[in-house]
A and B are shown apart, each in its own frame.
Chain A
Amino acid sequence: MSSVKSPQRHGACAESPARPPRAHSRNALRALGLIAALALLLLVVGLGLAVGAKPISLGEAYAGLTDESAPAHSIVTEMRMPRTLLGLLAGFALGLAGCLMQALTRNPLADPGLLGINAGASAAVVSAMAFLGVTAYTGYVWFAFLGAAVVSVLVYAVGGGRGATPARLALAGTALNAALISYVNAVQLLDTAALDRMRFWTVGSLASADMDTVVRLSAFVGAGTLIALLMARPLNAMALGEDSARALGASPGATKGWTIAAVTVLCGAATAACGPIVFVGLMVPHLVRSLTGPDLRWMLPYCAVLAPVLLVGADVLGRVLARPGELQVGIVTAVLGGPVFLYFVRRRRMAQA
């Protein structure tokens, strides 16, 4: 019960001059944890640059990054840098989106995959490949984005628009997800050429990264992040139910609309760039909630840092474990992240949070 009350308590703390000492130390602890998480992220990014088919030391990787004449310069800047940055951005986006989704639908199972957004992107991409003959990566990125956007608007509309309830949103998303995945399967089975091209996109991989994609992705992720951060406070109020949210000065309809917009932009961009990577958006918010409690103003930054740690870390491990080949990042995330997730479900009282 105390965990449900905490956002309200901290909301009040921010304004009142006489803070209870316990909240003080708790916030300090959270800030320290965030710094530790950032350090972890830095380490993982360093490993992302150093580890690969030709392993180099962290020092050499740094030299390759800063000095054009260093021997590792081309490996680091042309191959590993875009890949690591893509993982960083995609993880960041998926973590934030998952966090927002679970807060909005108040359903622990909600993630971009279950709510049909990945499926919408997949359906648009497979349609573009099968019926419009789009083959270039730069072409179908936009279709993925369009698909994600159309599906999230549809989920919002079917789920009840401004009067949407969490259960109906979740249900509408699942129903659309089911229909779209079946559609994708049907098109692939009827058109083997589309299946062949689609395979490269659906594995959810960071391997095809280049700097152009990273730059484009970062613009969308920036916009999505801005909306996400603005929604933290109203979504906190919404956790107490819509009537309480209204009483606390939040507008439920606008909050839902803007949150859906943020999720669309974040997920659409990440999915378009690296294919449907599931589980990151589902798992990270649960882990984070067990660390910080349900206050979104802490959860969002934690998710934004820890999700890329998971994604880039899984990518690095995939390169190490299956040398000289590599394991797809989706597989590694699930097989290694899953047990960690289960451990937290058992250890903490996460399920009740």
Chain B
Amino acid sequence: MSVVRYRQWSVHAHPRSLAVGLLLVLLALGSSVLLVGSGEYPMSPARVVETLTGQGHPADVFIVQEVRLPRVVTGLLVGAALGLSGAVFQALVRNPLGSPDILGFTHGASAGAISVIVLFGGSSAALAGGAVVGAALTGVLVYLLAWRGGLHGNRLVLVGVGVAAILTGVNGYLLTRADINEAGRAVLWLTGSLEGSGWGNAVPLLLALCLLLPVVLLGCARGLRALEMGDDAAYSLGVPVERVRLVLLVCAVLLTAFAAAAAGPIAFVALTAPQLARRLTRAPGPNLVPALCMGAALVVCADLLAGRAFGDQPLPAGVVTGVLGGAYLVWLLATQRRAGRI
């Protein structure tokens, strides 16, 4: 860790984190180029880059801009949003298992979307709206239930787990009450897929990220770092603990909600990306930016693998994210133990 100073400003620079972040961005962009080039109408990476820089054949431009680019951009954004929200949650509750997948926010989004499908037979725009509303309501509910003159990290986790369990039951019940076509649609959405994503999926998420990223990274990152040392330490460092926690919670829930609205609840990205990032950078603290890059890389790589690995039968990205992230994390844990690092 070294400090870069310029007049009255100073920034902590962690060279290894920078290198890891840069590599992850390169990995995500490289996979994106491959992903744009793959499909029923294959293109070489060189042609893809040409087309993206505006020098391609009109047919290529159409396919890239209208069909494949929105899908890849959605994947990158979803991964980034999930990685960041996972890192924020895990730091907030100081528990490596405390991701939105487990604290009920993903379940809330699912419940909203399934209700729209089953009860109203709504369109895909209504479905996305339902997911956002479901996650937001779950966020409010969890916050109110966990509030008791303050927001104790462990109580937040327990309340979240309880709400998640109830919502799992509700979702199961809704699915058994749906007719077979609606149930099929709901199950497909629940798997989390980038299939058929258009600009309509990417743009709302992009706007949400533009709004929330500065709040989290510039406004609260310092407070979050202090919170990781415990509430008392944070208070004594002058951090307004409850306010920072509320703002971060709102941001992280909204990130999860918009990510789920764009592509369905893609599993385990929010859980594994921050842990992977933390293990690669070996830096203390929440590692927000590396987690964000890791999430984006994870989703795009998963989509690439899902489309190619099983011949003519493409799988949804949400099926592969877990295998990719989980297996990689197991491998990291095992090798780091052998190397004597935790």
Contact = CB atoms under 8 A, between A and B. Distances in A.
Interface of A: 107-109, 114, 154, 157-160, 165, 167-168, 170-172, 174-183, 185-186, 189-190, 278-279, 282-283, 286, 327-328, 330-335, 337-339, 341-342, 345-346, 350-352
Contacts of B173: 327, 331, 335
B321 interface: yes
A346 B145 contact: yes
Main secondary structure of the interface of A (DSSP, over half): helix
Contacts of A165: 342
Shortest beta-carbon contacts, A-B, top 10: A182-B322, A179-B326, A334-B169, A338-B166, A178-B326, A351-B155, A175-B329, A335-B169, A178-B268, A178-B322
B313 interface: yes
Contacts of A190: 310, 313, 315
Contacts of B212: none
A109 B268 contact: no
Nearest to A155: B330
B330 A175 contact: yes
B114 to A, nearest CB: 14
Given A345-B162, A351-B157, 7 more contacts: A108-B158, A175-B329, A182-B321, A186-B323, A334-B172, A335-B173, A342-B159
A73 B176 CA distance: 33
A171 B315 contact: no
A189 B318 CA distance: 12
Contacts of B152: 351-352
Contacts of B315: 186, 189-190
B251 to A, nearest CB: 23
B161 interface: yes
B333 A158 contact: yes
B319 interface: yes
Given A185-B319, A351-B154, A178 B97 contact: no
Nearest to A338: B166
24 contacts: A107-B97, A109-B97, A159-B333, A172-B330, A172-B333, A174-B96, A175-B326, A175-B330, A179-B323, A179-B325, A181-B322, A182-B319, A189-B191, A189-B319, A279-B165, A283-B162, A283-B165, A328-B176, A331-B176, A341-B162, A345-B158, A351-B152, A351-B154, A351-B157
Contacts of B326: 174-180, 182
A209 to B, nearest CB: 20
Contact of A330 (B145, B172, B319, B337): B172
B78 interface: no
Nearest to B170: A335
Contacts of A157: 334
B64 interface: no
B249 interface: no
Contacts of B330: 154, 158, 172, 175-176, 179
A154 B271 CA distance: 20
Contact of B319 (A177, A186, A350): A186
B169 A332 contact: yes
Contacts of A178: 267-268, 271-272, 322-323, 325-326, 329
A334 B333 contact: no
